[in-house]
Chains A and B, each alone.
Chain A
Amino acid sequence: MKITKMNITEKILAKAAGLKTVEPGQLIKVKLDLVMANDITAPLAIQEFHKSSVKKAFNKNKVILVMDHFSPAKDIASAGQIKYCRDFAKEQKLTYFFDVGKMGIEHALLPEQGFIKPGDCIIGADSHTCTYGALSAFSTGVGSTDLAYAMATGITWFKVPSSIKVILIGKPKKWVSGKDIILYLIGKIGVDGALYEVLEFTGPGVKYLTIDDRFTICNMAIEAGAKSGIFSVDEITYDYLKDIKRSFSSEVARSDSSDGGTKRCWKDWQSDPDAKYSQTIKINLNELEPQVAFPHLPSNTKSINQIKQKIKIDQVVIGSCTNGRISDLRIAASILKNKNVAKGIRCIVIPATQAIYLKAMKENLIDIFIKAGCAVSTPTCGPCLGGYMGILAEGESVLATTNRNFVGRMGHPKSKVYLASPAIAAASAIAGYIKKP
Chain B
Amino acid sequence: MKLKGKVFKFGNHIDTDVIIPARYLSLMEAKDLGKHCMEDIDKDFVKKIKAGDIIMAGENFGCGSSREHAPVAIKGCGVALVVAKSFARIFYRNAINVGLPILECAEAVNTTETGDELEIDLQKGVIKNLTNKKTFTTKPFPEFIMQIIKAGGLINLLRKENSLSS
Contact = CB atoms under 8 A, between A and B. Distances in A.
8 contacts: A27-B144, A43-B28, A44-B28, A75-B26, A78-B26, A142-B90, A143-B68, A143-B94
Interface string B90-131: 100110011000000000000000000000000000000000
Contacts of A153: 158
B135 interface: no
Contacts of A41: 66-68
B49 interface: no
Contacts of B18: 406-408
Interface of B: 13, 15, 17-18, 21-23, 25-28, 40-41, 59-60, 63-69, 71-72, 86, 88-90, 93-94, 97-98, 142, 144, 153-155, 158-159, 162-163
Question: What class of interface size applies to chain A in its complex with B?
Answer: 35 or more
A149 B18 CA distance: 27
B26 A47 contact: no
Contact of A192 (B13, B93, B154): B13
Given A146-B154, A408-B18, A408-B40, A191 B60 contact: yes
Interface stretch (A3-11, A51-59, A111-119, A263-271): A51-59
A-B CB proximity, top 3 nearest: A77-B26, A143-B94, A145-B97
Contacts of A78: 26
A409 interface: yes
A131 interface: no
A197 to B, nearest CB: 9
Nearest to A381: B22
A149 B154 contact: yes
Contacts of A53: 158-159, 162-163
A404 B88 contact: no
Contacts of A146: 93-94, 97, 154
Nearest to B163: A53
Interface in A139-164: 141-146, 148-149, 152-153, 157
A127 B90 contact: yes
Contacts of A81: 26, 28
A227 interface: yes
Contacts of A192: 13, 59-60, 63, 86, 88
Q: Which of A125, A153, A195 has the most CB of B within 10 A?
A: A195
B64 A404 contact: yes
A141 B27 contact: no
A18 interface: no
B144 to A, nearest CB: 6
Contact of B17 (A47, A70, A145, A404): A404
A406 B17 contact: yes
A413 interface: yes
B25 A70 contact: yes
Interface in A116-134: 125-127, 129
Contact of A191 (B13, B25, B28, B162): B13
A227 B89 CA distance: 7
A215 to B, nearest CB: 18
Nearest to A81: B26
A386 interface: yes
Given A143-B97, A385-B22, A385-B65, A54 B40 contact: no
A317 interface: no
